[in-house]
Structure 1
Amino acid sequence: MISDLVLGTMYFGTRTGRDASFALLDRFVEAGGRWIDTANCYSFWSHESGHGGQSETVIGEWLRANPGVREQVEISTKVGVEPVDGGGVEGLSAPVVRAGATASRERLGVETIDLFWAHARDLDTPIEETVEAMGLLVDDGIARRLGLSNHPTWLVERARIDAITQGLETITALQLSTSYVEARPGAAVEGKDHRFGWVTEETRDYVEQHPEVEVWAYSPLIQGAYDRADRPLPAAYDHPGTTARLAALGEVAGRLGVAPSVVVLAWLVRRGIKPILGVSSPEQLDSALAAGALALDDEAMAQLDAPA
Structure 2
Amino acid sequence: MTRPRFALGTMHFGTRVDRPTAFGLLDRFVDAGGSLIDTANCYAFWTDPESAGGHSERVIGAWLASRPGVRDRVRLSTKVGAQPIGDGDWPANREGLSATAIKSAIEGSLDRLHTDHIDLLWTHMEDRSVSLEETGSALALLIGSGAVGRLGASNHPLWRVERARGVARANGWPGYSALQLRHSYIAPRPGATVPDQGHRFGWVTDEILDYVGSDRELALWVYTPLINGSYTRDDRPLPEAYDHPGTTRRLAVLNEVASEVGATRNQVVLAWLTGGEPAVTPIVGVSTVAQLEETLNGAALVLPTKLRARLDATT
Range of TM-score over shorter length: over 0.9
Q: For structure 1, list consecutive stretches of 5 or more residues without a partner in the other structure.
A: none
Structure 2 counterpart of 1:25, one-letter code: L
Instruction: Give the structure 2 partner of residue 29 of structure 1.
Output: 30
Matches of 2:133 and 2:225, distance apart in 1: 31
Which residue of 288, 299, 304 corresponds with 2:311? 304
Distance 1:20 1:174, change over 3 A: same
Instruction: Give the structure 1 partner of residue 281 of structure 2.
Output: 274
Matches of 2:108 and 2:147, distance apart in 1: 11
Instruction: Give the structure 1 partner of residue 184 of structure 2.
Output: 179
Deviation for aligned residue 1:114: 0.1
Deviation for aligned residue 1:111: 1.2
Give TM-score, length-normalised by structure 1: 0.98
What whole-Å deviation, never above 9, does each CA across 1:12-58 have from its counterpart, x for those lacking one? Answer: 11111110110000010011111000000011111242311111111
Instruction: Give the structure 1 partner of residue 48 of structure 2.
Output: 47
- CA contact 1:2–1:292 (8 Å) conserved in 2: no
What whole-Å deviation, never above 9, does each CA across 1:172-208 have from its counterpart, x for those lacking one? Answer: 1111000000111111111211110000111111112
Matches of 2:195 and 2:15, distance apart in 1: 23
Structure 2 counterpart of 1:80, one-letter code: G
Instruction: Give the structure 2 partner of residue 80 of structure 1.
Output: 81
What whole-Å deviation, never above 9, does each CA across 1:205-226 have from its counterpart, x for those lacking one? Answer: 1112212211111100001011
Residue 294 of structure 2 is aligned to residue 293 of structure 1: no
Instruction: Give the structure 1 partner of residue 57 of structure 2.
Output: 56
Instruction: Give the structure 1 partner of residue 68 of structure 2.
Output: 67
- CA contact 2:5–2:300 (8 Å) conserved in 1: no
Matches of 1:92 and 1:179, distance apart in 2: 28
- CA contact 1:2–1:291 (8 Å) conserved in 2: no
Aligned partner of residue 216 in structure 1, secondary structure: strand
Aligned partner of residue 115 in structure 1, secondary structure: strand
Instruction: Give the structure 2 partner of residue 210 of structure 1.
Output: 215
Structure 1 counterpart of 2:290, one-letter code: E
Q: For structure 2, list consecutive stretches of 5 or more residues without a partner in the other structure.
A: none
Residue 140 of structure 2 is aligned to residue 139 of structure 1: no
- CA contact 2:97–2:130 (8 Å) conserved in 1: yes
Give TM-score, length-normalised by structure 2: 0.96
Aligned partner of residue 177 in structure 2, secondary structure: strand
**Which aligned segments of 4 or more residues in structure 1 are displaced greater than 3 angstroms?**
none
Instruction: Give the structure 2 partner of residue 9 of structure 1.
Output: 10
Percent identity at matched positions?
A: 51
Residue 157 of structure 2 is aligned to residue 156 of structure 1: no
- CA contact 1:119–1:148 (8 Å) conserved in 2: yes
Deviation for aligned residue 1:122: 1.2
Deviates more, 1:255-264 or 1:225-234: 225-234
Instruction: Give the structure 2 partner of residue 228 of structure 1.
Output: 233
Structure 2 counterpart of 1:120, one-letter code: M
Structure 1 counterpart of 2:50, one-letter code: S
Matches of 1:91 and 1:118, distance apart in 2: 9
Matches of 1:66 and 1:86, distance apart in 2: 37
Residue 122 of structure 2 is aligned to residue 117 of structure 1: yes
What whole-Å deviation, never above 9, does each CA across 1:150-170 have from its counterpart, x for those lacking one? Answer: 000000101111111111111
Matches of 1:85 and 1:247, distance apart in 2: 48
Matches of 2:201 and 2:23, distance apart in 1: 33
Instruction: Give the structure 1 partner of residue 112 of structure 2.
Output: 107
Deviates more, 1:126-135 or 1:29-38: 126-135
Matches of 1:213 and 1:227, distance apart in 2: 31
Aligned partner of residue 4 in structure 2, secondary structure: helix
Which residue of 189, 197, 201 corresponds with 2:194? 189
CA RMSD of the aligned region, Å?
1.0
Matches of 1:115 and 1:243, distance apart in 2: 37
